[in-house]
Structure 1
């Protein structure tokens, strides 16, 4: 079907640079402030503003697990499928990539 050779070298660097520039152009600090304020309010975690800080804080997913637990607790009428989820949801706090 497609006989295109995969990009390498300078083509990859240019593609990555264009992708990062496109993401940066769509990043809205006001939306970030609103979303981080909401997450901080619900979870009680202090999150520093800024693209890199938010990325580092959300990277491992533990704060997102806490957020899901809080939302489940505060939702009075959960849908039937959501009621079947075991709670509290436990975050994987290991730094290792897998368990043995």
Structure 2
């Protein structure tokens, strides 16, 4: 009879140890999940920051490109104006000379 009681005590002890291991495994799993969730948040935050920097850099590049293009258009426009001024001046001088010679 005492052997049966001792056996039951050992079985009960093993059950308690098993329950403790299950609880520890459960706690460890929860910690791993929480750590993974936090890591995911960090990664998403970093990815968002990188995406924002890339976007801002791309916008800056596009603005610089547009600015250079605008300056080139302005330069060509000024060239055309200068050509027209010279042409008009030449035509005016020709008319003046023509009038004088008449």
Normalising by structure 2, what TM-score?
0.22
Higher RCO, 1 vs 2 (CA within 8 Å, ≥6 residues apart): 1
Which structure would you say has the larger Rg? 2
Normalising by structure 1, what TM-score?
0.23
